[in-house]
Amino acid sequence: MPPTFSFRKYHSQDFEALYAIDQACYPPAIAYSRRELRNYLRFPGAACLVVEADNQAAGFILTAHHGDSGYIVTIDVLEPYRRLGTGTMLLHEAERELAASGVREVVLETATNNVPAIAFWKKHGYRTQGVRKDYYPGGIDAFSMHKQLTHGI
């Protein structure tokens, strides 16, 4: 049977679990350090939504916004919970919350060589607006992507 997912806001006691999820989702050079993750969680306008399954954190999405501009810092889902709609559910809820906060446009970066991530973002209406050279360690470029939000998502 597929797991039942529940969503909730981040609590400070979630930090180590979220750090471990990020470490599991990305190569060491790209995964956030504890310090980086803490800093992102403390950004003005930051919001973090946690998805739970099997009584544990299965993933999260971290966003930030200022005025009518939003930014997706990261979306992380543990391998056993991928391809079950988990990332889509996290993204839709985060976009809904951003729109409710007055955000009209969301931007993000994703590696130009990460074909599954590019497909995920495009499937959800994000469009490439440029390339950021050497964005990731090792000289990997990133696509800068954006999406216009409508209120009432």
pTM above 0.85, yes or no: yes
Average pLDDT in the 136-149 region? 93
CB 151 within 8 A of CB 138: no
67 within a domain of the structure (yes/no)? yes
The 10 Å Cβ neighbour count of residue 126 is 21
Residue 75 domain flag: yes
Residue with tokens 């973090």: 48
45 within a domain of the structure (yes/no): yes
Residues with Cβ within 8 Å of residue 80, at least 6 apart in sequence:
58
Domain extent, residue 56, equals: 6-148
Domain membership of residue 24 (yes or no) is yes
- E strand or H helix at 120: helix 115-123
Instruction: State yes or no: pLDDT of 45 exceeds 80.
Output: yes
Burial (0-12, 13-18, 19+ Cβ within 10 Å), 77: buried
59 token code pair: 């993933």
150, 125 Cβ separation under 8 angstroms: no
Cα 40 to the chain's mean position, in Å? 12
In a domain, 123, yes or no: yes
Confirm whether 91 is domain-assigned: yes
The CATH number of residue 104's host domain is: 3.40.630.30
Q: Is residue 153 part of a domain?
A: no
For the chain, how big is the Rg over CA atoms in Å?
Answer: 15
Q: What is the pLDDT of residue 151?
A: 62
- Overall domain count for the chain: 1
Q: Is residue 124 part of a domain?
A: yes
The predicted-structure confidence for 68-98, as pLDDT tens digits, reads as follows: 999 999 999 999 998 888 999 999 999 999 9
